[in-house]
Amino acid sequence: MAVSSEQAQRFREFRMPDVGEGLTEAEILKWFVGVGDTVADGQVVCEVETAKAAVELPIPFDGVVREIRFAEGTTVDVGTPIIVVDAGEQAGGAAAPAAAGPAVVPDAVPAVPAVEAAPAEEKPAARTAVLVGYGVAPSTTTRRPRKPQVPAPAAPVQPATEVPPVQAPVEPAAPQAPAQPAAPEDGRDGASPMVYSRPLAKPPVRKLAKELGIDLATVAPTGPNGVVTREDIRAAAAPPAQLPPVLEPAPQGREREVRVPVKGVRKATAQAMVASAFTAPHVTEFVTFDITRTMKLVQELRADPAFAGVKVSPLLLVAKALLVAIRRNPEINAAWDEANQEIVHKSYVNLGIAAATPRGLIVPNIKDAQDKTLPELAAALGELVGTAREGRTAPNAMQGGTVTITNVGVFGIDTGTPILNRGESAILAFGAVKLQPWVHKGKVKPRQVTTLALSFDHRLVDGELGSKVLGDVAAILEQPKRLLTWA
């Protein structure tokens, strides 16, 4: 049947964008809209996870959602349509009449049922789109009122040019439930003052609630317009909710193995580590030394007004020491160009910090770290770690690194042999700081002692150069006044 140009323009497909450089697929983590909801240009409709980060996707046009092509947890190739919007519907207008029969969805992918919407809320403050090219547009959480659970009258919907025949889903008839008292305006369920219907919360807050085992519907929201905040989740997470679950032996007859698909950050990390380990010839050197003076300096800096509002940790001074060592030995800050058979020397340092997150290991980096003062470096470290833990690290923050630090000491580990982040020349492992007997000024005394391990690409870095860099870092941390004399 012929499709008019008007119909072709009415039903618009939103395709999975390339949210990183060269990524080919992304997993749909969460849908924030359902069939029948009104969407506006710039409104976030779903959250996806790529091999590098979790990203919110704003839709670039207005209309009413007519079809959701993929369920949560599905991995979708870049360029594949994931949602169909009836652009002919004006914001706030009624949806097109539903046709008899189920919505047309590809056979291999189950359709996502319409999400019951919460009562309309006021529009929140404007947000900045997370994807390059979408610009800044106000988003809205306004949704249509709940629809009664009865079949809608039949009426055919004409398909668009590049869209399969689109039909609105018919919600199955449900038994009439006993009359319930009307919910108060604050969103509370009248039957129970501690239960909230369709709680509103941002993705990082939902993720925190999931990690702590908190049901969002039981949390009293204190944010604007009834939004659940991170503080609300923490307040509700009384012990033992904050404790990790205790693993007990599985009863007889239950499976003893659980298989988890390799995807997202874990898949990308595995591929990068294999490529790095079998491409760059690794060499690791170690040094154990007295870090007592640096630990005292950390305590002094914490009381310094120049560092008010930022976190001062031993990792900060380790990072600064490495930057000074690179300045003294700039040849280590390089990359191997296999295609052109060249060594690329870099005058900038994008300092990577390995961060363990619930989604896996990621390595965001501080751009041009060599130019930052100590307070600026402290602020950048705090922002990097906080963003990583909340799952909000942008893909470009994990690209272009030159050297990396991994702090294995926070896990009580003395040292290790870290694998290079792919494309980088070196990685420094900072071990646990422990009180140990140490010869100091000719006498055995209890001193704070740690071990550093430096792995480097032996194609770029000879043993002499690697030893100089590692020795300089240890010397600075042993006598932190060298941060002044050597810088």
Q: Which residues are catalytic?
A: 458
C-alpha dist (Å) from residue 198 to 201, 294, 369: 9, 51, 44
The upper half-sphere exposure of residue 412, i.e. CA atoms within 13 Å in the direction of its Cβ, equals 0
C-alpha dist (Å) from residue 199 to 117, 185, 238, 454: 10, 13, 20, 48
Q: CB–CB of 281/461 below 8 Å?
A: no
At position 358, the amino acid (one-letter code) is P
Query: Distance between CA atoms of 451 and 286, rounded to whole angstroms?
Result: 7
Q: Nearest 5°: phi and psi at 12?
A: -115, 140
Tokens read off for 209:
């609630």
Instruction: Let me know how many helices (H) and strands (E) the chain has, helices first.
Output: 9, 23
Fill in the DSSP letter of residue 30.
E
DSSP 321-351: HHHHHHHHSGGGSEEEETTTTEEEE-SS--E
378 Rama class: left (phi>0) / alpha (psi -120 to 50) / beta: alpha
Q: CB–CB of 366/403 below 8 Å?
A: no
Q: Nearest 5°: phi and psi at 189?
A: -80, 125
Helix ranges (H only) for 237-309 are 264-277, 292-302
Fill in the DSSP letter of residue 23.
-
Query: Distance between CA atoms of 287 and 372, rounded to whole angstroms?
Result: 27
Q: If DSSP codes are grouped into helix, strand and coil, which group holds residue 398?
A: helix
At position 151, the amino acid (one-letter code) is P
Pairing relation of β-strands 365-366 and 227-228?
unpaired
Neighbours of 250 (CB within 10 A): 11
Nearest CA-CA partner of 399 in 47, 17, 23, 52:
52
